Amino acid sequence: MSQKILVIDDDVPFCEMLKTFLGKRGYSVANAFNSQEAQQLIDKECFDIVLTDVRLPDSDGIELLKYIKKACPTTQVILMTGYTEIKTAVNAMKLGAFDYVAKPINPDEIIMTINQALEKREAKTVQSSNYSSSNTQTKSSSPSDGDDYVKGSSNVSKQLNEYIELVAPTNMSVLIIGDSGTGKEHIAHSIHLNSKRKDKPYIAVDCGAIPKDLASSEFFGHIKGSFTGAVTDKVGHFEAANGGTIFLDEVGNLSYEVQVQLLRALQERKVKPVGSSIEIDVDIRVIAATNEDLPKAVQEGEFREDLYHRLNEFGIVAPKLADRGEDILMFANYFLKTSNTELEKQVGKFSSEVERVFLTYDWPGNLREMKNIIKRSVLLTRGDVVEVQVLPQEILSPRMQTTLKDRTVVDEEDLKLFSSKNEEQAIRTALEKVKFNKTKAAQVLGIDRKTLYNKMKLYNIEL
């Protein structure tokens, strides 16, 4: 059966174009032109992937994302963002979006992102014999021992690694605090692998993806017939993690009610599956992560103070990528290597200009953003060296954008799937913003002046 994709954008020709493009590649595609229509379709069936514009006429992509995550937790949502909306996109990732792609949309990039999203969706629904869940991962590989873990040598990294080494062998609960994409999950897994529990289960639970009414059953399990839909006995995350480590990702997203249940389980080290009268002893180590300001949530009465202290026996801050100094290029080279392997390419290195951009950019999406940008750049690189022309415009400073020699060639490619309506609007908005100074407008848009003139002619934009 072909994978189902819902494309949501108020730009009808663009939606149709994307539908045809994806349809030709074997996907079964539906279109919606506003949020209401989209919700009606989602109420009828859960899609594998939803591709939605960030701005919709009757709502925005972020609100819709929340709706989808509630209605269909395993659907992977990819946002399509216009110029300079990276902050919104990063926020969306915190709320559970799989990824974002910048408009103009590049055909290879969108296909690559869809494939990655489908892989993630499949990984989420992998089931083991007596334990199944849509919101967990069990892991056996070692990120800290093998080639796939960059330790870094900057001062912040040295301190981070020291903390991991110190706390790992203990049984202390660890709370990892850090922005989205800083590597919190990697840190959690590394603590597990360096602990005495390393040969026991490691269960990662995405707390943000658990629907409120199913939370008790997800954490503590249920017995057959205990509620409508409980057709078999189910082992909860706590029991599955028995003897090992449970990683509670996005712990700040748990409802107050679930927080109470969780605290009880952690204090008493016993769980009772829904519908059962028998308590099960559990021996687990808890690692939690959040990108929220939990002390503030405590102050505002949204997060229980006793649970906060229970989780925060040892706090670790995951550093922002921009603060990791000399590690930045180490990470970049690591992602170059992994991208080459995944895409079966042999791109050798970054140009020195690209390295300079990497070192000066502020990386709001941290390691995840870097990984995505490098993968996209490797995909678009035809030679041996990643040049600045293949970098997305949001990471280039305006000054650099105008010095790009071959920008037009890349633009022409990027524009294949870029709707004329959006493009015309983007150009008009940019011109207005800079009081109709064409040089500045070209900078804002990330295109050269010649391209801007051509496009103004095409859309009859007169000043």
Three-state SS annotation for 327-364 = HHHHHHHHHHHHHHHHHCCCCCEECHHHHHHHHHCCCC
The DSSP bridge pattern shows strands 136-138 and 202-206 to be antiparallel
Helix/strand/coil for 257: helix
Q: How far is the CB of 179 from ligand ATP (least distance, A)?
A: 7
**Cβ proximity to ligand ATP, 137 vs 173, nearer residue:** 137
Report the DSSP beta bridge partners of residue 101.
80
- Figure out which of the listed residues 93, 168, 258, 288 binds ligand ATP, where binding follows CB under 6 A: 93
Q: How far is the CB of 265 from ligand ATP (least distance, A)?
A: 23
**Cβ proximity to ligand ATP, 7 vs 203, nearer residue:** 203
150 interacts with ligand ATP by CB under 6 A: yes
Contact 397, 439 (CB under 8 A): no
249 interacts with ligand ATP by CB under 6 A: yes
The site for ligand ATP, by CB under 6 A, has a size of 18
Would residue 334 be called left, alpha or beta, if left means φ above 0 and alpha means ψ between -120 and 50 degrees? alpha
Q: How far is the CB of 329 from ligand ATP (least distance, A)?
A: 14
149 interacts with ligand ATP by CB under 6 A: yes
**Cβ proximity to ligand ATP, 272 vs 368, nearer residue:** 368
In angstroms, rounded to a whole number, what is the distance separating the alpha carbons of residues 386 and 379? Answer: 10
Query: Which residue of the chain is nearest ligand ATP when measured via CB?
Result: 183
**Cβ proximity to ligand ATP, 368 vs 407, nearer residue:** 368
**Cβ proximity to ligand ATP, 185 vs 423, nearer residue:** 185
Helix/strand/coil for 44: helix
- 377, 381, 398: which is closest to 449 by C-alpha? 398
Q: How far is the CB of 290 from ligand ATP (least distance, A)?
A: 8
In angstroms, rounded to a whole number, what is the distance separating the alpha carbons of residues 3 and 28? Answer: 6
- Figure out which of the listed residues 38, 284, 367, 445 binds ligand ATP, where binding follows CB under 6 A: 367
197 interacts with ligand ATP by CB under 6 A: no
113 interacts with ligand ATP by CB under 6 A: no
Piece of the chain touching ligand ATP by CB under 6 A; list 263-271, 309-317, 367-375, 446-454: 367-375
Q: Which of residues 319-348 bind ligand ATP (CB under 6 A)?
A: 334
**Cβ proximity to ligand ATP, 149 vs 459, nearer residue:** 149
Sign of CA dihedral 163, 166, 168, 170: negative
Q: Is 363 exposed, middle or buried (0-12, 13-18, 19+ CB in 10 A)?
A: buried
Q: Which of residues 164-183 bind ligand ATP (CB under 6 A)?
A: 178, 180-183
Q: How far is the CB of 178 from ligand ATP (least distance, A)?
A: 6
Contacts of 261 by beta carbon, 8 Å cutoff, 6+ apart: 215, 216, 219, 220
**Cβ proximity to ligand ATP, 282 vs 336, nearer residue:** 336
What is the per-residue binding string for ligand ATP in 389-428, x denoting contact by CB under 6 A? ----------------------------------------
In angstroms, rounded to a whole number, what is the distance separating the alpha carbons of residues 400 and 393? Answer: 10
| Backbone phi and psi for residue 150, each to the nearest 5 degrees, phi listed first | -90, 120
Which tokens go with 397? 């400073």
Q: How far is the CB of 207 from ligand ATP (least distance, A)?
A: 11
In angstroms, rounded to a whole number, what is the distance separating the alpha carbons of residues 295 and 374? Answer: 35
- Figure out which of the listed residues 197, 237, 371, 375 binds ligand ATP, where binding follows CB under 6 A: 371
Cβ count within 10 A of residue 159: 13
Q: Which of residues 286-315 bind ligand ATP (CB under 6 A)?
A: 291
**Cβ proximity to ligand ATP, 368 vs 455, nearer residue:** 368
Which residues of the shown chain bind ligand ATP in the complex (CB under 6 A)?
A: 93, 149-150, 178, 180-186, 249, 291, 318, 334, 367-368, 371
